[in-house]
Structure 1
Amino acid sequence: MRKGEPSRTAFGAAALRAAHQEAAEPRIFTDPLARRILGEAELPHQTWSQPRLRLFIAVRHRFAEDSLAAAVARGTRQVVVLGAGLDTFAYRNPFDGTHVFEVDHPDTGAWKRERLAEAGIEVPDNVTYVAVDFERDSLAERLADAGFDAAQPAFFLWLGVVPYLTDEAVRGTLAVIASVPDGEVVLDYLKSVEHAPAEAHADRATLEAHVAEVGEPLQPGRDTATVHAMLRAAGFDEIEDIGRREIRERYLGLRPGEADGDAHVVRARVTGVSRP
């Protein structure tokens, strides 16, 4: 983060979502506002040269919003977008009666509101912005100040953030989510590149170099057992985790193959039901 500027990785993720709308590949996720929120600038070259990353970002949003639809059907009415960046869910939200809390660093949030105004994207009445400096502020306190009801169910979208955070920061946020009744979250994580097929190694190296160059380096990869242990320790008792095999079969109509891949997206929920 540079003062007064948005996260560079947030801009890159929005560019990849926008490119997915235009690329010659299976349409996994539709985001008609992704291009508008970026303005008229040409999409960076990286958005076209990394189709694997572009598809994964589309999958993580599709998986998250499908999971949210199921939560809303069960009665959840609070949606929290953590590290909202240039995410556009709040402005194309199809779920009547829900309230969306967009949580991000003050500089990113302010820049985003400027971009929304410039792009003519209307901010619905059911959207609340929550400015949180995660190095200084309490997420739970900032949410409460913004009108979030911690005694009611909530669904948290936490995409494109965990790979940049320390274990301590991840555990702290998971504790807040798990303290909410029927709290549910979708997040993504990266494993060590050794788990990826050979053709993905160059993509990972390119990603790591790019985000380090803009001052937002990735943390070391976490294996699935570690991530699941963190979730269970926080209190989540229902976990659904999809990697390369599940993505190929579920979203691309391909054979799963043998390689697990290095990028995963996981849904975790606190149901209060004990599982073995």
Structure 2
Amino acid sequence: MRRGQPSRTAMSAARYRAAHQILEGGEIFRDPLAVRILGVAEPDLLADAPRRGMRLFIAARTRFAEDALATAVAHGVREMVVLGAGLDTFAYRNPHPGLRVTEVDHPDTQAWKRERLAGSGISAPSSLTYLGVDFEKESLADRLHLDGPAFFLWLGVVPYLTLDGFRETVRVVAAREGNEMVFDYAQPPSQMPAERREWLEARAARVAKLGEPWLTYFEPEEVASLLGASEFGEIEDLGPSELAARYFGRTDVPPGTAGGHVLRARR
């Protein structure tokens, strides 16, 4: 992202979540605040209909993450950390009594979000804490203080990190036994069939023009090895085919989902 400005890709992800509520009626992932916080008119969201593949992937990754969170809460987790929160609305519709949420983001993006919340009349609950972190100058480990095992929601962030940045965040999550995280990642374009490779390369070029280039790709075996080295013993990784089977009601991969994976790991 460009200094002094909110993340453009955070805005894009929020638009996909909102468009899913209008175009598919929230069939995969229901978010009653998504359209409201975005502040984009419904007719404009209807124009996003052709971008169905990416829209469904973002809906599916959020559904997967919040289902995993519900299981973690049932097992006693009482802390949640949203890394790169953007316009995520979970904290404002939190259905889990006793679950505290910390939103972590760059101060510029966080200020923009709080303006959007005020403009849309969405109140911040007492269970929410904002933590502004400039990752170019500050360490998450030095700023984040939790009282017990936590669930880390980390969506739409990993491709924009360097490998060292990814490893540092994994190290923070791995510091406490019982911590759990869900994140998404992309496979290298070189491993994609021609049509999907072309789509992925085009999307990477678009976000690079916004000043937020994709920096890191993984093969499933690579990311599993990195997590195993940090003592994550429970890993669930859904690729495009598994996501299609679970959430889209089909066995083929919808166009536009490219090489997106969603992964859950527990320490």
Shared fold (TM-score, shorter chain, > 0.5) = yes
What CA distance in whole angstroms lies between the structure 2 residues aligned with 1:197 and 1:17? 27
Matches within 5 A, 1:1-150: 1-24=1-24, 27-40=27-40, 43=44, 47-144=48-145, 148-149=146-147
2:234 is matched with which residue: 232, 238, 250?
A: 238
Residue 219 of structure 2 is aligned to residue 223 of structure 1: yes
Maintained 8 Å contact 2:19/2:45? no
What CA distance in whole angstroms lies between the structure 2 residues aligned with 1:191 and 1:253? 23
Partner amino acid for 1:191?
Q
Per-residue CA deviations over 1:94-118 (Å, capped at 9, x if unaligned) read: 0000000000001111111111011
Structure 1 stretch displaced more, 84-93 or 220-229: 220-229
Q: 1:8 to 1:247 in 2, by over 3 A?
A: same
Maintained 8 Å contact 1:244/1:263? yes
What CA distance in whole angstroms lies between the structure 1 residues aligned with 2:193 and 2:24? 23
1:155 is matched with which residue: 151, 156, 161?
A: 151
Deviation at 1:195, TM superposition (A): 3.7
Maintained 8 Å contact 2:11/2:86? yes
Maintained 8 Å contact 1:101/1:129? yes
Q: 1:103 to 1:67 in 2, by over 3 A?
A: same
Match of 1:262 in 2: 259
Per-residue CA deviations over 1:23-48 (Å, capped at 9, x if unaligned) read: 24881111111111111456479843
User: What is the TM-score of this pair, normalised by structure 1?
Assistant: 0.89
The 3-state SS of whatever aligns with 2:223 is helix
What CA distance in whole angstroms lies between the structure 2 residues aligned with 1:154 and 1:24? 32
Q: 1:43 to 1:234 in 2, by over 3 A?
A: farther
- Identity rate of aligned residues, in percent? 53
Partner amino acid for 1:231?
L
Q: 1:32 to 1:203 in 2, by over 3 A?
A: farther
Maintained 8 Å contact 2:86/2:109? yes
Residue 160 of structure 2 is aligned to residue 164 of structure 1: yes
Deviation at 1:204, TM superposition (A): 1.4
User: What is the TM-score of this pair, normalised by structure 2?
Assistant: 0.92
What CA distance in whole angstroms lies between the structure 2 residues aligned with 1:213 and 1:31? 29
What CA distance in whole angstroms lies between the structure 2 residues aligned with 1:220 and 1:46? 31
| Runs of 5+ unmatched residues, structure 1 | 271-276
Match of 1:273 in 2: none
Deviation at 1:154, TM superposition (A): 0.4
| Runs of 5+ unmatched residues, structure 2 | none
Q: 1:213 to 1:44 in 2, by over 3 A?
A: farther
Coordinate RMSD, CA, aligned: 2.1
Match of 1:274 in 2: none
Maintained 8 Å contact 2:23/2:46? no
Maintained 8 Å contact 1:211/1:217? yes
What CA distance in whole angstroms lies between the structure 2 residues aligned with 1:30 and 1:93? 13
What CA distance in whole angstroms lies between the structure 1 residues aligned with 2:123 and 2:16? 22
Q: 1:197 to 1:43 in 2, by over 3 A?
A: farther
The 3-state SS of whatever aligns with 2:211 is coil
The 3-state SS of whatever aligns with 1:218 is coil
The 3-state SS of whatever aligns with 1:50 is helix
- Tell me which of the two structures has the higher relative contact order, counting C-alpha pairs closer than 8 angstroms and 6 or more residues apart: 2
What CA distance in whole angstroms lies between the structure 1 residues aligned with 2:229 and 2:47? 37
The 3-state SS of whatever aligns with 2:178 is coil
What CA distance in whole angstroms lies between the structure 2 residues aligned with 1:35 and 1:26? 11
What CA distance in whole angstroms lies between the structure 2 residues aligned with 1:53 and 1:59? 10
The 3-state SS of whatever aligns with 2:144 is helix
What CA distance in whole angstroms lies between the structure 2 residues aligned with 1:44 and 1:210? 19
Match of 1:189 in 2: 185
Q: 1:222 to 1:47 in 2, by over 3 A?
A: farther
Task: Report how many residues are paired.
Answer: 264
2:208 is matched with which residue: 207, 212, 233?
A: 212
